[in-house]
Structure 1
Amino acid sequence: MLKIQENYSLNNLTTIKVGGAARFFARIKNVDELKEALEYAHHHSLNIFVISGGSNVVVSDNGFPGLAIQININGFEVVRENKKDVVLKIGAGEVWDKVVKRAVANGWWGIENLSWIPGRIGACAVQNSGAYGQEISDVIDELKVLEIASGEIKIFEKDECGYGYRTSIFNTGKRDQYIIVAVVLKLKKQGTISKGQGINNLAKIDYPDVKKYFEERGLEQPSLQQIRQAIIYIRSNKLPDMSKVGNAGSFFKNIVVSGKEYDDFLEKIRENFGDEEVGKAEELKEKYRLGKEIKILTAWLIDICGLKGAQVGYVKVYEKQPLVLVTEPSKATADEVMRLFRKVRQAVYQKTGMKLLPEPRLVGFTDEELKGYFEIN
């Protein structure tokens, strides 16, 4: 029988280590328990929040006034395979990096650059997690979901998921309508090193940090395991240890703009920082080009605005990777996190014209609170 707990603190269930309690909380181990939880929420007129692994969420200091559920649905099954591909069905509660580790150990290519990303696979599929030239949407075949309104299981093919940069229909237009219970991935059994752009399911080592890592070690054709080791090395040197320092991973999204928006951005950079930084912007534009659109690295913007180490209370911008906000557990508050977000957002907008957006989901905040945190003067 499903166990539902009252006034359950969510602080230690989130990696950023802030936030209040959920009015009700349940851990879900299978689809039957999930249906039971939905029935409970419906009977008591409660909103539902799926916390998953807690690595990409900030909960208000006032907590969440509904039913928070943690998806612990496990499972790792080879659905079908041939000489070229293997198709895996994975429970939404499986820890993502353990999935990557297992794939690499079996010689399956396509997600090695996503090593050491925190969280569970269901949440990764919702936000289209990506790093170093790969995204989980590159290898998703389909998603098995439970529709909240009907309690029915439905299948979404990859093309129905509306994947974009850190987005899908599950965190935009159809947010809070479905809960992912299983993810089906299609991986390659034979890998080829890709030194160009836009080739899915092939190993990508042309991303600047990755390229530099292998050049320094004289490796032109690294193995699958060597690629995973490289990514873990790079990420661990840039990102804080979640077991010691509170953080939600990347707090700020990178920015994607059109050509006209980019031209206006360059003028703002020239006005406030001079031609040298304009040259740097152009260099980064070529390194991280996204087809017809242009990606602007938010970490660089925060850096040139002099915001590394900026602090509000017990929360600060991480010096090694300014996309990350770090907290002092048991002392920091969600309000301090969001006030630092506002401080960084305001400063970057004033000097670059770019409006930063948070990557984590913000839960339990009132509309009035959010308006204040996002306000730009």
Structure 2
Amino acid sequence: MKLMSTTTVSKHGLVTKSALVATAVVMGISSPMALTSQAFADQWDDQMRALNAQMQQYQSQASALNAQANTLQAQLDQITAQKNAILAQIDLSQKQYDALQKQIEETKQKIDDNKEALGRIIADMYVDGSITPLEMLASSKNIGDYVDQQEYRNSIQNTLSDTIDQINSLKKKLESKQNEVKKVLDQQKDQKAQLAAKEAEQAELVAKTRNDEAAYQQMANDAKAQVENAAAQQRAYYASLQQQSGGRFTSGIIGGLTITSFSGNRGCGGGYPFCAGPLDYGVDPWNLYTRECVSYAAWRIQNGYGKPVAPFRGDGMAYEWEWSARKGNGTKATRVSDPAPGDAVVLPITPGLAPVGHLMVVEGVSGDNVYVSQYNFGGTGEYSTMTISKSASRVIYLRF
């Protein structure tokens, strides 16, 4: 069981368990790696660096296209919303148009009905007109009745004429309003057609961008697979050298390190006190997992050379020391070019060798030779020493 700490614990060192499980580009082999005579592996390191750069470029392009596609999708959603709003307006306008059409039809029917009534009255008056006034007077009860009949006919005729005029006026108003609604309706339909065309164009653009994103993502995945393949070839190369030399190391160039005088793995050596269990069995006072290179380096620099190293806050992986130790978590390291005993040596991320970097401690310097001590070189969780070339090794020196 791993110990808990009050701050976030990061797994550190040349190889972590999660890296071994999660990726094929981790440290060469899970068993102790025995370096061999003249192990020149830079060809794979250079290839993997180039492929990683290419993969990052493709991934960056895919991310940019993803952001672009999301923006285009948001614009498409906005266009679709506008089109849907126009459709709702068209529905209302169509209902208004249909209602006016119904009113016009009803008005026309009223006009026809009133015209028919007026026609009957006129026909009656025509019949009555063939009767002489004397005959009408004789048929009337009295002179008053005669006058009333005449006025009634005239009143009915005038009323129907006025009604027809009013209904015709209403019909004209309804038709005018209907024309206005039709004009609006036609405009709305034109807007709908324009938005539909714009929507289709935008959807095509979104699809194309998504396809481009998928293509770049696939290229990034292909580059990653090539990195993993190169790492596998490098591991096979290491294994073949190990087999050829019977596990002995003399000198070599591996993962940016020009090495001589490798001591071999020495178990729980170097006086390091957190070695009571297997690799990563617990957490040390610096919030680092035990028997990792970073845990040993923090302990050795503080206890061996009296230089305080503050606990890390989730930023203690080997490659992170370059900036996390320099920014100062209670202490502050300075990058130097003239290594001295007690300095930290940071090997940056090296695909196939150190996927999260590696930490060493300077124990002595003689000309171009830098003598270092370390833990977990090769993923063993064990102590070892070696000499690296100051001029030929791609490392960073930090002084606390």
With the length of structure 1 as denominator, give the TM-score of the two structures.
0.25
Which has the higher Rg, Structure 1 or Structure 2?
A: 2
Higher RCO structure (Cα 8 Å, ≥6 apart): 2
Of Structure 1 and Structure 2, which has the larger fraction of its residues in strand? Answer: 1
- Using the size of structure 2 for normalisation, the TM-score is 0.24
User: If each structure's helix is expressed as a fraction of its own residues, which one has the higher value?
Assistant: 2
